[in-house]
Structure 1
Amino acid sequence: MAFSHAERSAAATLQGQAFPARPARVPDLIHDDAQALNVAKRLADEFSIDAALRDRERRLPWVELDAFVSSGLWGLTVPRAYGGAGVSNGALAEVVATISAADGSLGQIPQNHYYALEVLRVGGTHAQRRFFYERVLAGERFGNALAEIGRKDFKRRTRLTRAAGDWYIDGQKFYCTGALYAHWIPTLVVADEDGQDVTYLVFVPRAAQGVSVTDDWDGFGQRVTGSGSVEFKRVPVQPEWVVPFQTSFERPTTIGPFAQIIHAAIDLGQARGAFAAMVPFIRERSRPWIDAKVAHAAADPLTIAQVGELAVQIRAAEALVRRAARAVDAAQADPTERSVAEASIAVAEARALTTTASLDAGSRLFELAGTAATLDGLGLDRFWRNARTHTLHDPVRWKYHAVGNFYLNDKLPPRHGAL
């Protein structure tokens, strides 16, 4: 499916729209892992066509997102008992990696959508799961308003207040990936419970009175993720939109490793995308170094060796992501202290290597392809910029610490969204 000129022209008019349009149609239903992977490959082919242009002009991907959702891929993790595909984490990771190889921003946008679905699966009531899963299967998108900036601590100051029978939210958030495109904005809040702050995730309608989303993300990478600011001014919410969050980390659950394996998949896709752009460039456009005494860059023995080294690194990263996905599957099926810890460590190992692979691939693209690869019109720098930006999500040095502490001291990793 190619996007028509009319669709792309219409997308340009959506750049400043107040709210995402309601889904034009009910998304397709994905039935199994194999179908999910096939659909992702088809979409990736389409998304790759204008990826550099979207990055260069910061063209927000409204049309591409509608196609992404309509394909059924945003409903992948809705359990089968609720009418969804309930795919394996391996399939989900491969879908995210496939889309990210084509366009890193499009690969990241649904990360918090899937995250919110996992929070619902773990901590929501049957009625909450049924309601929000139905919304997703109908084509509605979740964004996020989780992080806050401006202070050195990690305390959340966005509050849920209950007064005179009314519930409302006040606060400010940043790094709100996907909120710009969302129909619902899952928001982390604190509420006073007998003098103690307790954390909840509240599903706030994007169109609710008092919600303001600002497209002020100006990072040099992941430029069209919509990762800007959200402000809540006495936003009314319903009790049935409030899902326990803190309590889901007071027992062993897979919220943390599930979130992290999607991040690993994004980085894996970035590495694949850079590698896929590098190889034909070397074959077709690069010049060999004079001392190689060969006619073509692809015959340069040092270039060959470095391409081989990078290929092995990416293959190893893929293997660790697949292994980690199996561990998360097992922990979801039987969440114990040990199974969740083992899943978290397996995912931390994958994230450590996907971080290295994505940055290395983005850098070596230029080292091996040569100066011609730096021409601005090619947009090849987006791979490194996207990887460098996304891999800062949480520090890889702490992944190595968690892994080392586990194997050396049998210390289980902390339970939170970053492990």
Structure 2
Amino acid sequence: MTQSSHRPRVNSAEPFSPRPIPATAAHRLQSEAEAVEIARQLAAQFLTGAAERDREGYLPVEELDAYSQSGLWGLTVPKEYGGVGASYSTVAWVSSIIAAADSSIAQIAHNHLTLVAHIALDGTEEQKKELFGLVLDGWRFGNAFSELNSKNVAAFETRFVDDGDHVIVQGEKFYTTGALLAHLVPIVAVNDQGQAALVFAQRDAPGLTVTNNWSSFGQRTTASGRVQIEQVRVPKSRVVIIDAFHNHTAAGAISQIIQAAIDAGIARQAIDETIDFVQTKSRPWIDSDKPTAAEDVFTIQAIGDLKIKLHAAEALLERAGDLIDKAVAAPGEASVATATTATAEAKVLTTQIAIEATNRLFELAGTRSTLQQHQLDRYWRNARVHTLHDPVRWKYFHIGNYYLNGVNPPRNAWN
């Protein structure tokens, strides 16, 4: 991927035009194995410029185009609509591979993949045919869910009202990961009856303004800024009523497993960076009486500890993916609660290893690893910010309550 000072930056006041609709259809995946191989190839490309994008704040425009054109954004489209209908363990593995290279790019894709699941759960047959078809052609969905000033993450003040064959949407959103570079922006809005819906607006719709004002110290190039929605007209055919969380579905677990996979990817790459630095750049500590840093017994022990914790987290991710598949195939109170709890367990471990691995990188690699030329701090910054998406302290509670008291975890996008 080319890098230049002319590339658009995050937190910029410069206007940013909507991305063009893909001129050619995206690649059609033939198998899950092919998806994993493509993810590895893309990750190798994305890693090359990741440090520069983070340092300079370059938006991953070309990278995202390559990602969605690869077919991976259609990974979860059901087989009956032309996709491969990948298992969620594969979805998690692919997401973690991309996240290891650039966790911002992986997070931009997260909401799209989650929305594909919502279409499968809540869309009409006509909506599935149209929207899945667009996904397979390479269209990207963004995110206009959360609101900056509402009382909590599930309180929505954005409204939609009927207007003949259309609805009109009014409101404001923040944390809008992916909206800036999307082709369609699904807006979560409620009507006068309190019914929530996903309103799929064209990115270039009149009245829809995406502001590139994300300024976090981590996940810097997700462009997760603000969306202003001023009397935006959207055809009713693109209004998907949200019922998934009122029913026994795995919608929340599907969203969560991808979040957890991103943290696992950050951890994996941070550990690899630690090993490489210790082997090639670190000096042995004077008390070790060893000729190389890699022979320090305490460093050896620490790397072993990190690898064990990473592999445990990855194993729980795979287990959670298998249980989500079962809940999707046979939805019910028990199967959904089991999948949701298993995903929460994975989220706990991926959060722990992401923060620990990115922190211990500097302890084990030594002072010279903090030099700005290496830019290894981006792993810690990304892990610290991304793991804040939903508090792990509540995962412990829901997991314990499930096993101790038989209380199923709540059904929402954060569980």
Please, what TM-score do these two structures have when normalized by structure 1? 0.95
CA contact (8 A) 1:345 1:403 kept: yes
Q: Look up the equivalent residue of 2:7 and give its one-letter code.
A: A
- Alpha-carbon shift at residue 236 of structure 1 (Å): 0.5
Decide whether aligned partners of structure 1 residues 285 and 143 sit closer, same or farther in structure 2, where only a CA change above 3 A counts. same
Q: What is the aligned partner in structure 2 of residue 204 from structure 1?
A: 201
Decide whether aligned partners of structure 1 residues 254 and 359 sit closer, same or farther in structure 2, where only a CA change above 3 A counts. same
- Alpha-carbon shift at residue 164 of structure 1 (Å): 6.0
CA contact (8 A) 1:58 1:223 kept: yes
- Alpha-carbon shift at residue 317 of structure 1 (Å): 0.5
Q: What is the aligned partner in structure 2 of residue 172 from structure 1?
A: 172
Number of aligned pairs?
A: 410
Whole-angstrom distance in 1 between the partners of 2:297 and 2:116: 49
Between 328-337 and 150-159, the greater mean CA deviation after superposition: 150-159
Whole-angstrom distance in 1 between the partners of 2:239 and 2:164: 17
Q: Look up the equivalent residue of 2:190 and give its one-letter code.
A: V
What does the per-residue CA deviation read over 1:317-368, in whole Å, with 9 as the maximum and x for residues that have no partner?
0000000000000000000000000000000000000000000110010010
Q: What is the aligned partner in structure 2 of residue 162 from structure 1?
A: 162
Decide whether aligned partners of structure 1 residues 166 and 16 sit closer, same or farther in structure 2, where only a CA change above 3 A counts. closer
Q: What is the aligned partner in structure 1 of residue 85 from structure 2?
A: 86
> Secondary structure of 1:91's partner?
helix
CA contact (8 A) 1:212 1:230 kept: yes
Q: Hey, which bits of structure 1, 4+ residues long, moved more than 6 A?
A: none
CA contact (8 A) 2:288 2:296 kept: yes
CA contact (8 A) 2:327 2:335 kept: yes
Q: What is the aligned partner in structure 2 of residue 406 from structure 1?
A: 402
Q: What is the aligned partner in structure 2 of residue 298 from structure 1?
A: 294
Q: Look up the equivalent residue of 2:212 and give its one-letter code.
A: D
| 1:415 aligned onto 2:415 | no
2:212 to 210, 215, 225: 215
> Secondary structure of 1:376's partner?
coil
CA contact (8 A) 2:143 2:185 kept: yes
Q: What is the aligned partner in structure 2 of residue 390 from structure 1?
A: 386
Whole-angstrom distance in 2 between the partners of 1:39 and 1:275: 23
- Alpha-carbon shift at residue 48 of structure 1 (Å): 0.4
- Alpha-carbon shift at residue 86 of structure 1 (Å): 0.9
What does the per-residue CA deviation read over 1:192-232, in whole Å, with 9 as the maximum and x for residues that have no partner?
12xxx111111111111100000000000111111111010
- Alpha-carbon shift at residue 152 of structure 1 (Å): 3.1
Decide whether aligned partners of structure 1 residues 162 and 94 sit closer, same or farther in structure 2, where only a CA change above 3 A counts. same
| 1:67 aligned onto 2:66 | yes
CA contact (8 A) 1:104 1:269 kept: yes
Q: Look up the equivalent residue of 2:48 and give its one-letter code.
A: I
Please, what TM-score do these two structures have when normalized by structure 2? 0.96
> Secondary structure of 2:221's partner?
coil
Decide whether aligned partners of structure 1 residues 301 and 333 sit closer, same or farther in structure 2, where only a CA change above 3 A counts. same
- Alpha-carbon shift at residue 393 of structure 1 (Å): 0.2
Give the aligned CA root-mean-square deviation in angstroms.
1.4
Counterparts of 1:3-402 in structure 2 under 5 Å?
3=1, 5=2, 8=3, 12=7, 16-153=15-152, 154-163=154-163, 166-193=166-193, 197-245=194-242, 247-402=243-398
Decide whether aligned partners of structure 1 residues 263 and 11 sit closer, same or farther in structure 2, where only a CA change above 3 A counts. farther
Whole-angstrom distance in 2 between the partners of 1:60 and 1:300: 40
Identity of aligned residues (%): 45
- Alpha-carbon shift at residue 69 of structure 1 (Å): 1.0
CA contact (8 A) 1:11 1:62 kept: no
> Secondary structure of 2:46's partner?
helix
Decide whether aligned partners of structure 1 residues 13 and 176 sit closer, same or farther in structure 2, where only a CA change above 3 A counts. closer
Whole-angstrom distance in 1 between the partners of 2:394 and 2:222: 25
- Alpha-carbon shift at residue 151 of structure 1 (Å): 3.6
> Secondary structure of 2:186's partner?
strand
Whole-angstrom distance in 2 between the partners of 1:11 and 1:69: 23
Decide whether aligned partners of structure 1 residues 22 and 10 sit closer, same or farther in structure 2, where only a CA change above 3 A counts. farther
Whole-angstrom distance in 1 between the partners of 2:320 and 2:150: 34
> Secondary structure of 1:98's partner?
helix
- Alpha-carbon shift at residue 17 of structure 1 (Å): 3.2
> Secondary structure of 1:216's partner?
coil
> Secondary structure of 2:199's partner?
strand
What does the per-residue CA deviation read over 1:228-265, in whole Å, with 9 as the maximum and x for residues that have no partner?
110100000111111111x2211101110000000010
Q: Look up the equivalent residue of 2:341 and give its one-letter code.
A: I
5+ residue gaps, structure 2: none
- Alpha-carbon shift at residue 166 of structure 1 (Å): 4.7
Whole-angstrom distance in 1 between the partners of 2:303 and 2:224: 33
